[in-house]
Amino acid sequence: MHSFQPKPLAARRASALSGRVRVPGDKSISHRALIFGALATGTTRVRGLLEAEDVINTAKAVTALGAPAAQVGAEWHVKGRGPGGLTQPLAALDFGNSGTGMRLMMGVIAGHPMTVTMTGDASLSKRPMRRVLGPLKQMGFQVIDEGKETLPLTLRGTGDLMPIIYTLPVPSAQVKSAILIAGLHAAGETTVIEAEATRDHTERMLRFFGAEVSARQHDGKTHITVRGGGELTGRNIVVPGDPSSAAFLVAAALIVPGSDITIEGVLVNTTRIGLYTTLREMGGAIEFLNTREDGGETIADLRVRSSDLTGVHVPAGRAPSMIDEYPVLAAIAGFARGDTRMDGLAELKVKESDRLAATADGLLANGVSARVEGDSLIVTGTGSVKGGGLVATHLDHRIAMAFLTAGLASELPIGVDDTSMVATSFPEFRGLMEQLGAAYQEPASAVISSEHKQP
């Protein structure tokens, strides 16, 4: 099990942010590049891979399964094993904090005759796996400890998976992806039906690697089908900048007066830009420049300038396209005028923490009016945020980064109790923010307590 040494940090009011930066590679695409590279025939070369703990744990997992993934100069090379070619690992696969890497890998293991134990850190071990295990078990995947739904789990795959037609009960790109990946190894066609669009990186990248994947609309739903038995071919991949990481820089530039920044080469896939759509509706000056295609994905440079924001209603249907960005949206909604209502947030309750409760608690601790109503979060903004609070992150990297963004424009510093887990997704967070002009100070508790003593 993992043990972090807590690293508290506080964000102070910053001067205008400026400059051009590039954020690390997209986490979703990095995971998939490694996994599909392992399943393909030949070598896959990946440039721009996100070298964060979550992705490194996926690289270790595919290596343990017999498909070595290693850094070679500026690239990562994965030596693929082709259809059914992965082998039984010698030890448990440890995914740390990565729900994405683990759930996608369940789809991989499902199609191979092997028994594998999966483990993770304390946070990941609390997250229920029922939604992904259910459909995979219908295909022939076995859970050795029948009825157990949290890590550690011992799982048994098979070379004789059955294809299924599965309707997602709630939108989830991870569950969809696990089923489609398993479907590569099933006889015939496997179909996932979704009522709301979720991230489509798996479908795009499977096609890029040579799989037969189709998507069609029927009765208002999308039917995504993969044909089993095909062979993936190793490819060269350039990973675009992660829009979920860019979100913190974008938000900071909007709320710090006088800011004008450009973030180069960001993924702007339509299933990932719900936050940017929302921020524009709030009055945010965000431009997509130099839009282009690469490796089946759309990329652009983002120019962001400080803006006066107004509260908006964010519909539930937008949740799948911005599920990771609600904490930072909520954290800066206090700087908007009026109510920002975010609906359809049930998924946030089963993330690295109960993100819904943790976000609301963090806002209240810093003088922002916020309340949870069922699966909705309502933040009442006044155009400014008092700050001065210390936020409990609950080992959640996005909670930490969200409030370290809000603190750059609050009257008093905003502290978080721990930043050690930021390395799981965005180890360059502080460095890039400071490059643009952000101001941080440690230890956070000392900063907060001293500010409160001031008259």
Which pLDDT score, from 0 to 100, does residue 128 have? 86
- 20-48 pLDDT tens trace: 999 999 999 999 999 999 999 999 999 99
- 69-125 pLDDT tens trace: 999 999 999 999 999 999 999 999 999 999 999 999 999 999 999 999 999 999 899
pLDDT at 388 over 70: yes
Is residue 324 part of the annotated active site? The answer reads: yes
- 70-83 pLDDT tens trace: 999 999 999 999 99
From 121, 324, 396, 418, active-site residue: 324
Query: If you average pLDDT over every residue of the chain, what do you get?
Result: 94
- 216-230 pLDDT tens trace: 999 999 999 999 999
Region 191-209: what's the mean pLDDT?
Answer: 94
Q: Which residue has the higher pLDDT, 327 or 452?
A: 327
pLDDT above 90: percentage of residues in the chain: 88
Which pLDDT score, from 0 to 100, does residue 1 have? 36
Q: What is the pTM of this model?
A: 0.84
131 confidence band (pLDDT: 50, 70, 90): very high
- 399-433 pLDDT tens trace: 999 999 999 999 999 999 999 999 888 999 999 99
Q: How far is CA 163 from CA 111, 220, 298, in A?
A: 11, 23, 31
Which pLDDT score, from 0 to 100, does residue 345 have? 93
pLDDT at 445 over 80: no
Which pLDDT score, from 0 to 100, does residue 351 have? 73
pLDDT above 70: percentage of residues in the chain: 96
- 316-354 pLDDT tens trace: 999 989 989 999 999 999 999 999 999 999 888 877 668
Structure-block tokens of residue 110: 């499902």
Fold exhibited by the domain 9-25+240-453: UDP-n-acetylglucosamine1-carboxyvinyl-transferase; Chain (3.65.10)
Structure-block tokens of residue 85: 């070619």
371 confidence band (pLDDT: 50, 70, 90): very high
Which pLDDT score, from 0 to 100, does residue 212 have? 98
Q: Which of 257, 233, 301, 248 is nearest to 279 (CA)?
A: 248
Which pLDDT score, from 0 to 100, does residue 306 have? 98
452 confidence band (pLDDT: 50, 70, 90): low
Residue 267 phi/psi, 5° resolution? -65, 125
Region 198-208: what's the mean pLDDT?
Answer: 94
Distance (Å, whole) CA 343 – CA 348: 11
454 confidence band (pLDDT: 50, 70, 90): very low
Q: What is the 3-state secondary structure (H, E, C) of the chain?
A: CCCCCCCCEEEECCCCCEEEEECCECHHHHHHHHHHHHHCEEEEEEECCCCCHHHHHHHHHHHHCCCCEEEECCEEEEEEECCCCCCCCCCCEECCCCHHHHHHHHHHHHCCCCEEEEECCCCHHHCCCHHHHHHHHHHCCEECCCCCCCCCEEEECCCCECCCEEECCCCCHHHHHHHHHHHCCECCEEEEEECCCCCCHHHHHHHHHCCCEEEEEECCEEEEEEECCCCCECCEEECCECHHHHHHHHHHHHHCCCCEEEEEEEECCCCCCHHHHHHHHCCCEEEEEEEEEECCEEEEEEEEECCCCECCEECHHHHHHCCCCHHHHHHHHCCCEEEEEECCCHHHHHCCCCHHHHHHHHHHCCCCEEEEECCEEEEEEECCCCCCCEECCCCCHHHHHHHHHHCCCCCCCEEECCCHHHHHCCCCHHHHHHHHCCEEECCHHHHHHHHHHCC
Residues carrying CATH 3.65.10.10, the chain: 9-25+240-453, 27-237
Q: Are strands 236-238 and 41-47 parallel, antiparallel or unpaired?
A: parallel
Q: Which CATH architecture has domain 27-237?
A: Alpha-beta prism (3.65)
Q: Which residue has the higher pLDDT, 310 or 451?
A: 310
User: Among 199-213, 342-356, 368-382, whose mean pLDDT is lowest?
Assistant: 342-356
